[in-house]
Amino acid sequence: MRFRSPPPKPGRALTVVAAIVAVAGIVNCATYPSSARDGVLSGTLSPSRTAARTHATLFEIMSSAQGTYIDRLLADRDSTIERWSDHGVNHPLRIWIDSSATIAGTQAGYPAAVRSAFSEWATTGIPLRFAYVTSPRDADVRVKWTDHLDHKTGSTTWRTDRNGWLTGGEITLATHISDGHPLDARGMRAIALHEVGHALGLSHSIDSHDIMASLVRVDGLSVPDRNTIKLLYTLPAGHVR
């Protein structure tokens, strides 16, 4: 993801590698000069399903697509819906956020900024609830930090089973942009919103008003961001026919 500090209040490259039972892909989100997005697909997932259908049709999707960028998602992901199965109150999606001593001082607010990002996605009404765990071994999605990423502010790797159901993910967030300038908590929250969107199954939007634009200029979810994630989570995972 590319990041530009949002105004006061108001590219992606995809690599897909086939495995025997799963798929793997990488998306890198860049800072100022370049962009990309990451994702890794593999592993196993609970067989829980929210819809009896095994596949959605393109007609079904596009008839509900007004006000969304679901078409970009289908183009980016080889006409495949990739999403988590429902994770409600009794079986929440488990999130681990690195809160080690390396995040201190001006960076102490980073973990809270990331939790706020997850919370904002939860307000869209998707059938996911989030719980925070203290060990990365217990997590479905892990969030970690690095001092900087070359031409990137964030990177997200995801895994799916062969049917397209997400089984795990890892988000790496840079504490500094490419020129060495440290991010404040507001900037980190904007980056986290974008990367969490990838971890939940979204690709890039071409509209700069959306948090999922490759160059992030905003610090909150737009109506199309909300509409797209809501539409995504009404559909069964898998290849669209």
pLDDT tens for 91-149 read 999 999 998 766 777 788 999 999 999 999 999 999 999 999 999 999 999 999 998 88
Tell me the pLDDT of the chain averaged across its residues: 80
3-state class (DSSP) for residue 117 = helix
Looking at the predicted structure, is the pLDDT value of residue 162 above 80? Answer: yes
Decide if pLDDT at 179 tops 90.
no
- The residue among 162, 107, 124, 118 whose CA lies nearest residue 140 is 118
CATH match for 2-236 among 3.40.50.2300, 3.90.550.10, 3.40.390.10, 3.40.1390.30: 3.40.390.10
- Which amino acid, residue 221? L
Q: Region 201-212: what's the mean pLDDT?
A: 96
Q: Is the dihedral of CA 5, 184, 150, 25 positive or negative?
A: negative
Note the pLDDT tens digit of each residue in 28-72.
564 322 233 334 322 222 333 344 456 778 767 887 789 999 999
The residues pairing with 132 across neighbouring beta strands, listed in sequence order, are: 95
Q: Is-contact 146 174, C-beta < 8 A?
A: yes
The answer to whether 166 and 40 are in contact (CB under 8 A) is: no
- Cα–Cα distance measured from residue 156 to residue 204, given in angstroms and rounded to the nearest whole number: 13
User: How is the chain split into domains, by residue range?
Assistant: 2-236
**Under 8 Å between Cβ of 118 and 130:** yes
What is the DSSP secondary-structure string of 134-173?
S-GGG-SEEEEEES-BTTEEEEEEEEE-TTSBEEEEEEEE
Structure tokens at 173: 């967030």
Q: Which two tokens stand for residue 84?
A: 């988590």
